Amino acid sequence: MRGGDSIHQRLVVFFALGVLLLTFPFLAVFNRPVWVGGIPLLYVYLFAVWLLGIAALALLSRVRWDDQE
């Protein structure tokens, strides 16, 4: 079950990266009075991190299903 161990390690790294990107120092960098297309920069950052997280999880789950078949 070596392939499963690799997936678990990737998920742990993904989780740690997600926590890091959503902590105070990174949020403070984007908490500026700047607007991007009428949306505050902080909101754009949060939704971008969220969207990239969903895409990364989809990619990881696809690899997981391909490994099982």
- pLDDT of 1 reads 46
| Residue 5 predicted with pLDDT over 90 | no
Detail the DSSP E strand segments found in 1-69: 35-36, 39-40
Mean pLDDT of the 48-56 span: 95
- pLDDT of 66 reads 55
**In the numeric block, which tokens belong to residue 18?**
């997600």
- pLDDT of 68 reads 60
| Residue 28 predicted with pLDDT over 90 | yes
- pLDDT of 64 reads 53
- pLDDT of 60 reads 83
Where do the domains of the chain lie? 2-68
CA distance 32 to 38: 14
Residue pair 7/18 in contact (Cβ under 8 Å)? The answer is no
